[in-house]
Structure formats: C-alpha cells, structure tokens
Amino acid sequence: MFDNFTGMAEPMSDTPFVAVEGLHFARGDKEIFRGVDMLIQRGGITAIMGPSGSGKTTLLKLIGGQLMPDAGRVLIEGQDVHRQSRKALFSMRQRMGMLFQSGALFSDLSVFENVAFPLRVHTDLPGTMVRDLVLMKLEAVGLRGARELMPAELSGGMARRVALARAIALDPELILYDEPFVGQDPISMGVLVQLIKRLNQALGLTSIVVSHDIKETLTIADYVYVVADGQVMAHGTPKSLDVDQDPRVSQFVHGEPDGPVPFHYPAVDFISDMLSPGGPR
Amino acid sequence: MIQRIRRLGRRGCDLLEAFGRAGIFLVQSAVGLPSREGLYLWVRQMHFVGVLSLAIVLVSGLFIGMVLSLQGYTILVDFGAEDALGQMVALSLLRELAPVVAALLFAGRAGSALTAEIGLMKATEQLTSMEMIGVDPLRRVVAPRLWAGFVALPLLTVGFGVVGIYGGYLVGVDWLGVFEGSYWSNMQASVDFIDDVGNGIIKSLVFAVVVTWIAVFQGYDLVPTSEGISRATTRTVVYSSLAVLGLDFVLTAVMFGGLA
Amino acid sequence: MKRSKTMELGVGLFMLAGILGLVFLGLRVSGMTLQTPGDTFRLEANFANIGGLKPRARVTMAGVTVGRVAAIELDTDWYDARVVLELDDDLQGQLSRDTTAAILTSGLLGEQYVGLSVGGDPETLADGDTIRDTQSALVLEELIQQFVSNMVSD
C-alpha cells in the first residue's frame, strides 16, 4: 500500500506536516484500520472522507494522540506522537486545535470564557490582553455579540463557530475538524465552509477535515483521502476523484444509493425470508 | 461446565481490573497540590454538592430525630425510663443514623448528579476536547468534585445530627413532656465527644470518600451514550448505598463492637 | 462575577454552620467543658464486685459529680476489682482517710456510678492512695437468691 502510494502522486510540496504510516487499530475484535498511510502537506486543507462508521473520528483521535495505535506511527513534523512523554504530548497539543463533532463547548462557562479557556490555561497574559484576543477570535467567526451567552443558548451552528474560535485561540498550526458540517442547515453549513477556507488562508493553517458531506468538502479541500474498510481506498485532488473510474469511489463521490457498498444489511434472500413459516420475527 | 468456570474467571478478572482502574483514577486525581484556580473550582463544587444538598439533609434529619423520639418514648415510658430519651436519641443519631442516612441521601442527591454531569461532559466530548487543549480533565474536572465531596458530607452529617437532636427535643420535651433538664443531662452524661461524635465523623469521612469516588468514577468510566449515562447514574446510587451499609457494619464492629 | 460572590458566601456559611454544629455537639450534647482536664488526682479503690460499672462512669459526692472512673482492672493479689478514680484537684487533701466508696445505681435500671462519702478521720487521702472502705455493687441475682433462701429457712 505504502509503495503504491509514494509512486502514485507526490502532492503539493516538500516534507509533509503530518505523516501517518502503516497505521493499525482495533477496537475489541473489530479491526478499524488495517494499514493506513497518509501524507498531509503544510498549509493546505486535506479532507478525509468515507462512509459513516469507517473510523474517521478514530483517525483524528489517533493523530491527536488520544488513542494508541496497535501498529504503525503518526509523525507530526517528524516527531512520533505516541512516543512522547505526557508533558511533551500536551505541549504538542497546544499547537493543534480540534473542532469536535458536537462542538464540545464547556457547558458551565460562557462563550467568552470558553474561548478564553486555552489562553488562561497556557499563557500568563494580563486580563485586558486575553479580552482583546478573545474578541478578535470571536469577531473572526462573527459571534462577538454573543459573548455573554451560555453554550445551552446557542444554536448548533453557532456552537460550532464558537468551538472554532476556541480551537484557534492559541494560533495553532494544525486544526482537526471532526464532521464540521453534520446536522447543519444550508445557511450555517455555507458559513462554516467559508470560515474554514478563510481561516486556513488567513492564518496559514494546516487543516484536516473529516467529513462525509461530499459536496461541501470537495469545494474547499486541496487534497482528498477516501477511507473505507480500514484502508485508504483512493486519494487525489477533488478533480481527479471526480473522474475516478473505481466503482466504489464513484459511488461514494457521486452519492449513489446502491453499488459496491450495498444498500442492504447482509440478510437471507427476501422472498424466502417472507415465505418462511413462523419462526422468530 | 468449563465454559462457565471460564466465564466466572473472566468476570473476576474484569472486576479486578475495574477496581485497579478506579484506584489509579482516585490517586491520579485526588493527589496533588491545588492551585488558586483549583480552589475556585472547589468552591463551585462545594456549592453544588454541599450547599444544595443541605435542605434535603436537614429536613430528613429533623424528621428522623422526631420519629426516633416518638418511638423511643413509647418504649422507654413502659420502664419508667423516659428520662433516658435524650441519651437514646443522641447516641443512635451520632453513632449510626446521621452518618449512614446522610451518606445515602448524599449518594442520591449529589452522587447521582455528579455521575450524570461528568457523564454528559464525556458524552459531549468536553473531556476529550479539554485533553486536546492540553488540560488534564482529572485535575480540572474530577479533583475539585472529589475534594468537595470529601469535605461536604462530614459537614452535612454534623448538620443532620444537630437538627435530629433538636427534632427529638421538640417531640420529646415540648410535646410528650419529658423533663427538659433530664433530656440534656442524660445525653451529656452518656455521649462522649471522641467515642461517639468523633467516631461518627470518622464514619462519615469514610462514606464521603467511598460515595464520591464511586459517583465520579462511574461518570468518568461510563459508555458515552444517553443509555450509558442513565445506567451509570443508577449504578452510582446502588453501589454507593450498598457500600455505605456494608462499610457501616464493618466500622461499627471495629468502633463499638467491643473490639476497642 | 456577582453570581460567584453569592456562591462563595453560601459555601462559607455552609462550612461555618458545620463547624458551629460540631461545637454544639461538643458542648451541648457531649457536655464537654472548656476547662482543661489536666488538674485531677487519682485514688484507687478495691471492690469485691463492681457489677456493671464501666470506665468513664461518674464519681459523685452527695450527688455532685466530682470525677470519673479512669480504669478498671482485676487485682490478681486479692482477686477483686481495682478501680482507679480520677477526681477534681480541689478535693486533694480534703477527703478524710476513712472515706467510703460505694457503687450505686441511678434509678432502677440506670447506669452505675461511684458515690463517695467522707468520714471523720483528720488525716486525708493524697494522690495515689487507696480507699479502704468500699461497698460493692448490688447484684440483683444475689439479692433474689438471699430473699429466696430466707423464705425457705422460714
């Protein structure tokens, strides 16, 4: 897989910012990853896509060092995430921001305090400076006016934007987005798409977007990995994937209901199931 | 047959592993010096588990003292020993009822809330995101809650005892007509500060550690779904009630059971 | 900020109330006095039978509590009970040498305590002395036995 990969495409620029090499991970008896290799370039937006349940969130947790892989390694700027001491890992994480699926705002803190949280924990900045920084970040996501609200008072889209402001509070170099578009109405979806793109350009970030919302993701991604069955099924620029001939890839990219990924959960033949007398329901 | 024995063995191992995890969890989160920030978080939790549990604990204490006095009077008056009412009320409250009932109420009121709160933080990925920000949730979320529980329950127990003794006084002296002087003097003659009050507080300290530990660990260790949270909340109340009652027997045997 | 101030106040009051409750339990319920318990002296008394007397029981004179039982042990010289009494320091040099100690019961079923009554000897007891004249506890079974045997002999 790995050899195949390096031969196929040398995307964008020189050394990768994040490198995932031969990653294996199993939860209980279920194998989630069976040798995943990825190279993520500095300064771009890399999308990791795949059907639900293909372990995309798990992949982000592995990159963030919250889970230990069974085999393989994750390198960030050449340093193995899983070989760090607890302290070094925590300082590594200060250079990463992560936007969770649910927003994961601290429910007992106001919007302002949520965004201020990383600043207060990791810096000794005076109060006025913290205030300025927080207002800047909130302005960037357009929610400066909502700073006194509590997370419970926000809509889903607003909560995710606040979480984004919190994720960029410490000016990280890498941001991991976990399903940023799930469950959003078209307007807030558009807002988020714009935000991710704009922030990436304005702050010179490296972004990894995990998503199964194909259309939105393909409009902002520079490079795409499609993950299925615990392996990288295809990768390339959005354009090249769009014309990919692999039936599995085209099914996913074009959102066809049935194809190599079956619509039906494995079952006995429908007719014989219907005609079978009695038995358990 | 062998299958069954193996399953038993596996459950034993699981149980032991859970105990180990819980032990490591307790040490990692409870040990360490608090910061200024930590002190503030602790005050918040004291408010949450202590001040907000005060009403239910005091009202229960009042009623239990009153019932104790009423029941005690009907028995003691047959022996013409109703003067010993104060002694009976105070000793049963201080040695047994205050620590045990306060701990049970605490498990129901504060323990289940702690489990649900931490569980919800886990389910909404707040704990994970805290970790990603580079803050240890054990120290930031768990430690203040543990220490608030450790301090709050003994205080609540004292409150329970005081109110209960007054409840007994209300019924016994004001209502049933026990002589006020003998209510207090018999009590003072028989209650020893170290042996009775002190042992009661030691009991409540032990219960505080156990109940808070169970509550917080169940919250931290649960399956992060809505079903997982409701199950863990139930488990907190069941486990802590059983632990309190079981430990109470052991502690009573050591403290008052003639072993001393 | 305002909300947290009232919260801090609430927690402070809660802790204060707890400490006050503890003081109440100490003073009012267990009858502790604030004076230091240091100024006491000890006397010993041997009883043939102490009945249900326990350590920490009261020691009284004319009904007034003047001390407490510090220890009870078996005297293996005489095979009777040696009771160590701890008395208020005021009484040192006040109790005559022929003071008697008796084990009494408060009420029919009440607790047992030690009652002292002074004699007329001009010499007095000092710390560590032994009270010679003692009266054992009344044991109900013995009384009944006596009563029954008197009935039989009549």
User: Which string of DSSP letters, residue by residue, matches C66-89?
Assistant: EEEEEEEEEETTTTEEEEEEEEEG
Residue C2: pLDDT above 50?
no
- Chain C residues near residue B46 by CB distance under 8 angstroms: 11, 14-15
Please report where in the chains the tokens 């699926």 appear, as a residue: A101
- Whether the per-residue pLDDT at C93 is higher than 50: the answer is yes
pLDDT for C22 beyond 60: yes
Token pair listed for B59: 């009202």
Whether A9 has a pLDDT exceeding 50, the answer reads no
Q: Measured on CA atoms in the order A28, A31, A36, A41, is the torsion positive or negative?
A: negative
Identify which of B49, B46, B44 has the alpha carbon closest to the alpha carbon of residue B110: B49
Asked whether the predicted pLDDT for residue B16 surpasses 60, the reply is: yes
Q: Which residues does residue A24 pair with via DSSP β-bridges, in sequence order?
A: A34, A71
Contact flag A100-B125 (C-beta cutoff 8 Å): yes
Whole-number Å distance between alpha carbons of C114 and C104: 6
Q: For residue B127, give both structure tokens.
A: 């704990």
- In a domain? residue A233: yes
Distance CA B132, CA A48 (A): 20
CA distance B103 to B116: 18
Contact residues, C window 97-116, toward B, CB-based 8 Å cutoff: 107-111
Contacts for A13 with CB less than 8 Å, ≥ 6 apart: A41, A42, A43
Per domain, the residue ranges of chain B are: 38-256
Q: Nearest-CA distance from A98 to chain B in Å? A: 7
Test B193 with C25 for CB contact under 8 angstroms.
Answer: yes
- Cα-based torsion angle of the residue sequence C23, C55, B71, B183 in order, rounded to the nearest 10 degrees: -50
Rounded to the nearest 10 degrees, the angle between the axes of helix B52-76 and helix B85-92 is 140
Handedness of CA A228, A232, A234, A236 (dihedral sign): positive
Q: Is A29 exposed, middle or buried (0-12, 13-18, 19+ CB in 10 A)?
A: exposed
Query: Within a 13 Å sphere around the CA of A11, how many CA atoms are in the beta-carbon half?
Result: 23
Q: Is residue A90 part of a domain?
A: yes
Under an 8 A CB cutoff, do B134 and A122 touch? yes
A131–chain B nearest CA distance, Å = 18
Q: Are C49 and C58 a contacting pair, CB within 8 Å?
A: no
* Tokens 């003794």, residue located: B165
Q: Which domain holds residue A186?
A: 2-95+172-275
Q: Are C11 and B191 a contacting pair at CB < 8 A?
A: no
Q: Which residues of chain B does C110 touch, with a Cβ-Cβ cutoff of 8 Å? A: 81, 84
Nearest CA in chain A to B45: A108
Token look-up 């102490």 returns C50
User: The tokens of B4 are what?
Assistant: 């069954």
Q: How far apart are CA A94 and CA A202, in angstroms?
A: 19
* Residue-wise pLDDT tens digits, A238-268: 777 777 777 777 777 777 776 666 667 777 7
> In whole angstroms, how large is the CA radius of gyration of chain C?
23
Mark whether C and B touch (3+ CB pairs within 8 Å).
yes
pLDDT at A229: 77
Percentage of chain B exceeding pLDDT 70: 98
Please choose, from the candidates C26, C55, C105, the residue with its C-alpha nearest in 3D space to the C-alpha of residue B191: C26
Residue A86 sits in a domain whose CATH number is: 3.40.50.300
From residue B185, alpha-carbon distances to B170, B190, B197 in Å are 16, 9, 16
CA distance C22 to C20: 5
User: Looking at chain B from residue 125 to 144, which residues have their Cβ under 8 Å from any Cβ of chain A?
Assistant: 125-126, 128-136
What is the value of ipTM here, to two decimals? 0.77
Average pLDDT over residues B166-185: 89
How confident is the model at residue A281, as a pLDDT?
56
Q: How far is CA B256 from the centre of its chain?
A: 20
Least reliable range by pLDDT among A74-88, A247-261, C127-141:
A247-261
Q: Tell me what the mean pLDDT of segment B97-122 comes to.
A: 94
Mean pLDDT within B108-136:
89
B125 contacts A107? CB cut-off 8 A? no
Q: Are A231 and A201 in contact (CB under 8 A)?
A: no
DSSP A146: G
Q: What is the pLDDT of residue A262?
A: 66
| Position B114 pLDDT exceeds 80 | yes
Residue for token pair 């978080």: B41
Between chain A and chain B, the number of residue pairs with CB atoms below 8 A apart is 48
Mind listing the pLDDT tens digit for each residue in A22-64?
A: 888 887 777 888 888 888 888 888 888 877 777 777 888 888 8
The whole-angstrom separation of Cα B208 and Cα B46 is: 13
Distance CA B96, CA B101 (A): 8
Say which residue, B207 or C69, is predicted with more confidence.
Answer: B207
- The residue in chain B having the minimum alpha-carbon distance to the alpha carbon of residue A104 is B126
Report whether pLDDT(B56) > 50.
Answer: yes
At residue A6, does pLDDT exceed 50? no
Mean pLDDT of C105-116: 78
Assigned domain for A255 exists: yes
Summarize the confidence of residues B179-196 as an average pLDDT: 84
Reported confidence tier of residue A5, pLDDT bands at 50, 70, 90 = very low
Has residue A28 been placed in a domain? yes
Statement: residue A124 has pLDDT above 90: no
Domain for residue A202, yes or no?
yes
% of chain C surpassing 90 pLDDT: 3
